[in-house]
Structure 1
Amino acid sequence: MIDSPTPDDLALAVRLAVDTLAAAPADADWSRPAGTLDWSCWDTVEHLADDLFAYAAQLAPARPPRGRYVPFVATRGFPGGPNNVVRADPAAGVPGLLEVLDASGGLMVAVARFAPPDARAHHPWGLADPGGFTAMSLVETLVHLHDVARGLGLPWEPPADLCTRALTRLFPDVPPATAPWPTLLWATGRTALPDRPPRTAWRWYADVRE
Structure 2
Amino acid sequence: MTFEDHDQSAPRTNDAWADALARAVQLALATLRSAPSEADAEAWDATAGSLEWTCWETAEHLADDLFFYGMQIGTPGLPAGTYIPLQMHRQRPEGPVNILQADREPGPSGLLTVLEACGAMQVSLTRTTPPSARAHHASGASDPAGFAAMGIVETLLHTYDITAGLGLEFTAPDDLCALVLGRLFPHVESDKEPWPTLLWATGRGELPGQERLEKWRWYGEVRQAE
Fold match, TM over 0.5? yes
How many corresponding residue pairs? Answer: 209
Look up the match of 2:169.
155
Q: What is aligned with 1:13?
A: 24
Letter of the aligned partner of 1:22 in structure 2? R
Q: Give 1:118's aligned residue.
A: 132
Task: Read off the aligned partner of 1:41 and give its amino acid letter.
Answer: C
Bigger mean CA offset, 23-32 vs 169-178: 23-32
State whether residues 58 and 65 of structure 1, in contact with CA within 8 Å, keep that contact through their aligned partners in structure 2: no
Percent identity reads: 50
Match for residue 23 of structure 1?
34
TM-score, with normalisation over the residues of structure 1? 0.95
Match of 2:103 in 1: 89
Residues 123-174 of structure 1: CA deviation (Å, up to 9, x unaligned): 0010001111010011000111111111111221121100001000000111
1:36 aligns with 2:47: no
Aligned equivalent of 2:119, options 86, 105, 112: 105
Q: Which residue identity lines up with residue 21 of structure 1 in the other structure? A: L
Q: 1:172 aligns with which of 168, 186, 204?
A: 186
> Which residue matches 1:185?
199
Kindly indicate whether the alpha-carbon contact (under 8 Å) linking 2:75 and 2:135 is maintained by their aligned counterparts in 1: no
When structure 1 is superposed on structure 2, of 22-31 and 81-90 the one drifting more is: 22-31
Normalized against structure 2, the TM-score is what?
0.89
Contact 2:131 2:144 in 1 (8 A): yes
* TM-fit CA distance, 1:65: 4.5
The alpha-carbon deviation at position 87 of structure 1 amounts to 1.0
Deviations 1:97-120 (A, max 9, x none): 000000000000000011101100
Kept in 2, the 8 Å contact 1:65–1:121? The answer is no
Q: Does 1:142 align with 2:153?
A: no
Q: Which moved more, 1:120-129 or 1:62-71?
A: 62-71
What letter is aligned with 2:109? P
* Partner SS state of residue 137, structure 1: helix
Does the CA contact (< 8 Å) of 2:53 and 2:95 recur in 1? yes
RMSD: 1.4
Instruction: For structure 1, list consecutive stretches of 5 or more residues without a partner in the other structure.
Output: none
Aligned residues of 2:76 and 2:134 also touching (Cα < 8 A): no
Q: Give a deviation string over 1:157-208, Cα, whole Å, max 9, x none.
A: 1211000010000001111223000000000000111121211111000000
CA distance in 1, matches of 2:180, 2:76: 26
